[in-house]
């Protein structure tokens, strides 16, 4: 199955959510 941009966005999005929930990242690093 070809990895579409739609599914890729789901993978990246949830990758970020999982890492954030695990507490690895600090909010200050990404302050906009």
Partner 1 sequence: MTTTTAQPSAEKKNTAGFFIGLAVVIVLCFVTRYFYNIVKPMTLPGGIPGKVLEYPIWAAVIGLIFNWVFKKTNVHERLTPGFKTELFLKVGLILLGGKVSFKVLATAAGGAIIQGIIMVTCVYFFSWWLAGKFGLPDTLRAVMSTAVSICGVSAAIASAGAVLAKKEEITYVTALVIVTALPLMVIAPLIARAMDMPEAVAGAWFGGNVDTTAAVVGAGTIYGETAETIASIVKQTQNVLIGVVAFFLAYYFVAKEGEGERPSLSIIWQRFPKFVLGFILASLLFTFGVISKDNTSYKVIQNIKAWFFCAAFVCMGLELSVAEFKKMGWNPVIVYLIVTLFNTLLALGISYLIFGWLFPVNL
| Least gap, CB of 17 to partner 1 (angstroms) | 6
DSSP per residue, the chain? ----HHHHHHHHHHHHHHHHHTT-S-GGGG--
Asked if residue 20 lies in contact with residue 14, where contact means CB atoms within 8 angstroms, the answer is no
Tell me the per-residue interface mask from 9 to 28 with partner 1, x by CB under 8 A, - otherwise: xx-xxx-xx--xx-x-xxx-
Is residue 3 a contact residue for partner 1 (CB under 8 A)? no
Binding site for partner 1 (CB under 8 A): 4-10, 12-14, 16-17, 20-21, 23, 25-27, 29-32
């Amino acid at each position: 199955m070809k990895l579409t941009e739609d599914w890729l966005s789901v993978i990246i999005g949830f990758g970020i959510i999982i890492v954030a929930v695990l507490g690895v990242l600090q909010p200050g690093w990404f302050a906009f």
